[in-house]
Amino acid sequence: MTSDPTANPFVHILEEDESGQCIPVADRLDPGPHQSIDPLSVIPHSTGSRREDNASGSHRAYQLLANEGRRRNFAAMLEDGRRAIHYLAVTAIPVATGKPQTLGYIRCLGLRQQEHTFATARTAPAATVDSNVGYRLDRLGTDHHRILESKPITGDQAAELMLQLVSLHMANTLITDGGIEGFLAHFRKYPVYHTSRRERRRRAKR
C-alpha cells in the first residue's frame, strides 16, 4: 500500500488487488450508502416562491447537495473498482480422451457477477457442438485455479463467453471461416490465459 500525492484529490491510497494491479482507493471518509445519486435530482424546479431574497442562499445550499451527490457517486465508483477479481474457466473436453483443456478465463468483477454468470449460462449434455467435443464452465476460487463447481454448457454458450476475450474483427474472421466449431477450435489450439501474477508464477514453475 503506497501513498500517491499526485493523484486525484479524492484518491490518496493505492492498493494492490489479487491480480497484482494497483487500484485507487477513496479517502477513508465514509461515503455513505453506495447508491447512485443523480446530482441534478436534488435541485428542485422553481416553485415561484415569493421569498426571492433567499433564492441565492437556497441555490448555494442545493449546490452543496449536488456536489455531495457527485462525491458519493465517485466514491461508489472507486469502491466498485476495488472489488476482488473472480474468474470463470471455459473448458473443452474431447470425448475420445476425456481430458479437459481450458480455452480461456472470463474475468468477473466480484463474486456476485461470477455467480450470476455461472448460474445463467446455458447448460447442455457433456457433448455439444459436435460428437467429438463437449464444453464445461468452471467457477474458480480466489486462487484463480481451484474449481468450486462446474456444469456442462452448450457450444454456443462457450463461444458467447469466449467472444469477450478477442476483438470483434478476429471473432468475425474466425466465425466466418469456420463457424462456431472453428471459432472454438482456435482456442483449443491457442488458449487464452488470465494475466494475474499468481497465474504467471504457477505457469513459470511448470
- Residue by residue, what is the 3-state secondary structure of 124-136? CCCCCCCCCEEEE
Please give the average per-residue pLDDT across 56-84, as a whole number.
Answer: 62
Residue-wise pLDDT for 90-130, tens only, equals 999 998 888 999 999 998 888 998 999 999 999 986 544 45
pLDDT for res 170 = 87
Instruction: Write the DSSP symbol of residue 37.
Output: -
Mean pLDDT, the chain, rounded, equals 72
pLDDT for res 19 = 57
Q: How much is the pTM?
A: 0.56
- Sequence-distant (6+) residues with CB within 8 A of 183 are 159, 162, 171, 174, 175
Distance, CA of 3 to CA of 154 (rounded, Å): 47
pLDDT for res 84 = 75
pLDDT for res 124 = 83
**Of residues 166, 168, 163, 100, the one with CA closest to residue 135:** 100
Residue-wise pLDDT for 128-178, tens only, equals 445 688 999 999 998 888 999 999 999 889 999 999 888 888 888 888 888
pLDDT for res 119 = 95
The structural domains of the chain, with segments of one domain joined by +, span 2-81, 85-204
pLDDT for res 42 = 42
pLDDT for res 5 = 45
pLDDT for res 85 = 83
Check pLDDT > 80 for residue 72.
Answer: no
Comparing 139 with 65, which gets the higher pLDDT?
A: 139
